[in-house]
Amino acid sequence: MGLMDSIKKTATSVAGEVKEAASAVGSEAGKAGRVAQAQMKLKSLQGEVGDAEKELGQAAYGLAETAQLQVPALEAAVAKVREAKAAVAAKEAEIAAIKAEGETAAADAPADAAATAPAVSAPAGETAPPSGDSTQMPGT
């Protein structure tokens, strides 16, 4: 066997190994893509489950509020929802009262501002012009 045959044999062997490695990498990349796609679908399905559970809970709460559903195991959860809704209503009323105060204060502000406005004084080191003659320039 000559030197060229030896080089050719080695090159063919290396090329085969590279081809196998590339195939393995491609296979792993394809697998990773399929896993990512399946994970995205799983997240979507989990979201659907959460939405269905929320809908079920709202329906059960509505039935419990109208006394059409009386299940002792749900009483604590129903009470918790009632308390949370009462807290929300109280906070909404507080916000409305605060806004009403602001509107009342804003309506009263122009009249009060003129009556309570402090006198404007000249900056330190300067004198204010004599009252009634604000057009006279100093030194004229």
Q: Which pLDDT tens digit goes with each residue over 110-120?
A: 655 555 555 55
Alpha carbon distance 62, 68 (integer Å): 9
Judgement on whether residues 7 and 43 belong to the same structural domain of the protein: yes
pTM beyond cutoff 0.75: no
Query: Model confidence over 40-92: pLDDT tens digits?
Result: 999 999 999 999 999 999 999 999 999 999 999 999 999 999 999 999 999 99
- How many domains is the chain built from? 2
Phi, psi of 10 (to 5 degrees): -65, -45
Judgement on whether residues 24 and 65 belong to the same structural domain of the protein: yes
The DSSP 8-state label assigned to residue 125 in this structure reads T
| 8, containing H or E segment | helix 3-65
- Is residue 51 in a domain? yes
Alpha carbon distance 140, 137 (integer Å): 6
Enter the tokens of residue 73.
Answer: 């195991």
- List Cβ neighbours of 61 (8 Å cut-off, separation of 6 or more): 78, 81
